[in-house]
Chain A
Amino acid sequence: MFLQQLVNGLTLGSLYAVLAIGLTLVFGVLNIINMAHGGIFMIGAFVGLFMVTVFEVNIFVAILVAMVVGAILGYLLEFVALRPLRKKNVSHLAPLISTIGVSIFIESVALLVWGPQTRSFPPDFIGGLIDFGMFKISMVQIIGLGVSIVLMLILNVLIKKTKIGKAIRAVSLSTETASLLGINPTLVISVTVMLASALGSAAGVLVGLSFDAVEPMMGVVIGFKGLAVLILGGLGNITGAMVGGFILGVSEVFSVAYGASSYRDAVAFGLIILLLFWRPQGLFGSKDKGGRP
């Protein structure tokens, strides 16, 4: 049972991780929490679902298309809700509210267009359960885990090795210095939000697929968990988001397996409060990030 629960926890954790990376990327560069991430996550799930059901493409193509749509939405989000606020020197309460507005908007439009019913992927779309004796793992779980890890690896290379990645890191260290060095911050910020939204979209498809449920409000609860991971790993730290995602997933599952399932939702945040006593900047966070109110 231990191994089986560990597998359950890791699958859940990988999904949390992909979701939280998007949040942490945006935070790193813009110093804001993107509350609209859950909305884009949900749209991603719907796009993935429609690709699979209407256009009957395979799941990887569906994820790619969802990511492209996510990126476009990310650009729109940046243009509508974040750019107007960047021109003035405002506290980061304003983008918080503005992105909350966007998420309410996206969710209510989705509710209107697609209705509130939960939709699911075609039955036996990705069938099968592989029995390893000690534990069982389904194809869906393998895809969820696999794609998440691949996405994280790609992102790592992108951030560490490419020019745009370096520019993103530069802007996240200091927007002013970066622009003095000839980096166009507006471009970098747009690219970051697009990248983050593409990841959020992909997470949406993976979550929709793993739990076989796609509906307009699906981003709310999981977006909330994303916040937990964001803080757990340390604001703006990509490694932190990955590790934090896995920690949260595993500890949630273990709290059910060896504790009481009715306290499951308190585990995420109880964990955070405890951790913050010990490390006020999260697991991997640097001391000066996120300090500004």
Chain B
Amino acid sequence: MSEILNPYYLQIVMFFIINAIMGISIFFTLSTGQLTLGAAGFMSVGAYVGALLTLKAELPIPIAIFIGGIVAALVAVVIGLPTTRLKGLYLAIATLGFGEVVRVIFLNLEVTNGALGLSGIPAIAQELTNYVYEFDMDGLLDIDALTWGNLLTIIILLVILALVILFCLRIHNSRVGRAFQAIKADDHAAELMGINVVYYKMLAFVIGAFIAGIGGGLYAHITNFINPTDFSYHKVVQILLFPVFGGSNVVWGSVLGSFILTLLPEVLRFLADYRDIIYGALLVILMAVRPDGILTEDLMDKIYRKLGVKKKAYIPETQVLTERFEAYKAQSKSGQE
């Protein structure tokens, strides 16, 4: 048991989950056909705001992380107003530029401690370990308190990841999700159909930034130390690889991509100096074999069918509205009585 639960493996699992959250943040804007590379920028905003709030204002970690996400979303509103009207690679590079500008600002600010970074950020696992002692769980199931702390952290991270995935799946099958798909397929046609393209693009951009901000906050409170170099150009490329490698058209693609790409460098560790060569070659081969990533919509349908999960039939919106109206009537009636 303790073999499997050793901190090394647990740490990798934590990084995998955070990477998955970051991958989904890029996937989210990709689902409206926008390639944004600002994820590292928003991540750093979330990380710094969250870390400063716990360090300097001594707020509880969950609240600090949440505020970090909100601030990242607010920044996205400001940045998004002009940038979401950009197209294709112009948007990609402009958002990449945003990330770079943010990094340089953090490098120069006094409160972020410049290149020295913020250290001693309270760790989620540490806090949870304290609870473990408090509730006398040390040694429970032959698992010591530190491991319990790590395990509980992973459970919390998993819950957050599950919420994010659920949110994506729910949106996918909603009016908003269909608007996203229409815009991705052809934004001019979508506009002609009466979809407010700017609004939906902005929505996706801001939600993506919020998710990235949350991811950043979690990252800061797991690694205990952040500095501007953590959020450089390399990070963006790394994050972008997750959805594209795993499959950029389905949310599970980001999860699978981050799983493989977090694990791969660790698995390839024994190759030492040859590790990156293999890694680079793998990327090229995978793109040649599966240019849309490992998971595609077709493949997901197949998997769903194999698993026996039936896809919900498409319900026309009028029907949904009628049902809701009926429900509302029933409710207001019962309220009157």
Q: Do chains A and B touch in the complex (CB under 8 A)?
A: yes
Q: How far is the CA of A280 from the CA of B89 in the complex (A)?
A: 11
Q: How far is the CA of A105 from the CA of B87 in the complex (A)?
A: 30
In the assembled complex, the CB of A287 is this many whole angstroms from the nearest CB of chain B, namely 9
In the assembled complex, the CB of B257 is this many whole angstroms from the nearest CB of chain A, namely 10
Answer whether residue B83 sits at the interface, using C-beta atoms and an 8 A cutoff.
yes
Q: Contacts A94-B291, A95-B287 given: A104-B280 contact, CB under 8 Å? A: yes
Q: How far is the CA of A88 from the CA of B97 in the complex (A)?
A: 31
- Do B94 and A276 touch (CB < 8 A)? yes
- Do B86 and A104 touch (CB < 8 A)? no
Please, which residue of chain B has its CB at the minimum distance from the CB of A103?
A: B280
Q: What are the interface flags for A256-285 relative to B under an 8 Å C-beta threshold, 1 for contact and 0 otherwise? A: 000010110110111011001100111000
Answer whether residue B144 sits at the interface, using C-beta atoms and an 8 A cutoff.
no
The stretch of B55-63, B133-141, B241-249, B318-326 that contacts the partner chain: B241-249
- Do B277 and A105 touch (CB < 8 A)? yes
* Residues of B in contact with A, size category: 35 or more
Q: What are the interface flags for A38-50 relative to B under an 8 Å C-beta threshold, 1 for contact and 0 otherwise? A: 0000000000000
- Chain B residues whose CB sits within 8 angstroms of the CB of A224 once the complex forms: 233
- Do A293 and B35 touch (CB < 8 A)? yes
Answer whether residue A165 sits at the interface, using C-beta atoms and an 8 A cutoff.
no
Q: How far is the CA of A91 from the CA of B33 in the complex (A)?
A: 10
Which of B107, B275, B283 is in CB contact (< 8 Å) with A97?
B283
Answer whether residue B108 sits at the interface, using C-beta atoms and an 8 A cutoff.
yes
Answer whether residue B288 sits at the interface, using C-beta atoms and an 8 A cutoff.
yes
Answer whether residue B34 sits at the interface, using C-beta atoms and an 8 A cutoff.
yes
Answer whether residue A85 sits at the interface, using C-beta atoms and an 8 A cutoff.
yes
Answer whether residue A90 sits at the interface, using C-beta atoms and an 8 A cutoff.
yes
Task: Kindly identify, within residues 25 to 63 of chain B, every residue whose CB is under 8 Å from any CB belonging to chain A.
Answer: 33-35
Please, which residue of chain B has its CB at the minimum distance from the CB of A99?
A: B284
In the assembled complex, the CB of B258 is this many whole angstroms from the nearest CB of chain A, namely 14
Answer whether residue B299 sits at the interface, using C-beta atoms and an 8 A cutoff.
no
Answer whether residue B120 sits at the interface, using C-beta atoms and an 8 A cutoff.
no
Interface size on A, residues (CB 8 A): 53
Answer whether residue A10 sits at the interface, using C-beta atoms and an 8 A cutoff.
no
- Do A276 and B104 touch (CB < 8 A)? no
Please, which residue of chain B has its CB at the minimum distance from the CB of A287?
A: B87
The stretch of A106-114, A151-159, A175-183, A198-206 that contacts the partner chain: A106-114
The stretch of A117-125, A128-136, A228-236 that contacts the partner chain: A228-236
- Chain B residues whose CB sits within 8 angstroms of the CB of A270 once the complex forms: 97, 101
Please, which residue of chain B has its CB at the minimum distance from the CB of A90?
A: B291
Q: How far is the CA of A227 from the CA of B233 in the complex (A)?
A: 12
- Chain A residues whose CB sits within 8 angstroms of the CB of B101 once the complex forms: 266, 269-270, 273
Q: Contacts A85-B291, A97-B245, A104-B279 given: A235-B237 contact, CB under 8 Å? A: no
Q: Contacts A108-B276, A108-B280, A272-B93 given: A277-B82 contact, CB under 8 Å? A: yes
- Chain B residues whose CB sits within 8 angstroms of the CB of A268 once the complex forms: 97, 100
Which of B86, B107, B248, B282 is in CB contact (< 8 Å) with A276?
B86
Which of B82, B88, B277 is in CB contact (< 8 Å) with A112?
B277
Which of B35, B98, B277 is in CB contact (< 8 Å) with A273?
B98
- Do A101 and B287 touch (CB < 8 A)? yes
Q: How far is the CA of A94 from the CA of B241 in the complex (A)?
A: 10
In the assembled complex, the CB of A61 is this many whole angstroms from the nearest CB of chain B, namely 31
- Do B104 and A266 touch (CB < 8 A)? yes
- Chain B residues whose CB sits within 8 angstroms of the CB of A277 once the complex forms: 82
Which of B88, B244, B276 is in CB contact (< 8 Å) with A293?
B88
Please, which residue of chain B has its CB at the minimum distance from the CB of A263?
A: B104
- Chain A residues whose CB sits within 8 angstroms of the CB of B97 once the complex forms: 228, 268-270, 272-273
In the assembled complex, the CB of B286 is this many whole angstroms from the nearest CB of chain A, namely 8
Which of B35, B276, B281, B288 is in CB contact (< 8 Å) with A93?
B35
- Chain A residues whose CB sits within 8 angstroms of the CB of B96 once the complex forms: 227, 269
In the assembled complex, the CB of B13 is this many whole angstroms from the nearest CB of chain A, namely 25
- Do A98 and B90 touch (CB < 8 A)? no
- Do A104 and B283 touch (CB < 8 A)? yes
- Do A273 and B94 touch (CB < 8 A)? yes
Q: How far is the CA of A94 from the CA of B287 in the complex (A)?
A: 6
- Do B33 and A293 touch (CB < 8 A)? yes
- Do B241 and A88 touch (CB < 8 A)? no
Q: How far is the CA of A98 from the CA of B240 in the complex (A)?
A: 12
Answer whether residue B274 sits at the interface, using C-beta atoms and an 8 A cutoff.
yes
Task: Kindly identify, within residues 210 to 251 of chain A, every residue whose CB is under 8 Å from any CB belonging to chain B.
Answer: 220, 224, 227-228, 230-231, 235
- Chain A residues whose CB sits within 8 angstroms of the CB of B284 once the complex forms: 80-81, 98, 101-102, 105
- Do B274 and A112 touch (CB < 8 A)? yes
8 A-B contacts (beta carbon < 8 Å): A93-B244, A94-B287, A94-B292, A100-B241, A108-B274, A231-B93, A269-B96, A290-B90
Which residues of chain B have a CB within 8 Å of any CB of chain A?
Answer: 33-35, 82-83, 85-90, 93-94, 96-98, 100-101, 104-105, 107-108, 184, 233, 237, 240-241, 244-245, 248, 273-277, 279-284, 287-288, 291-292
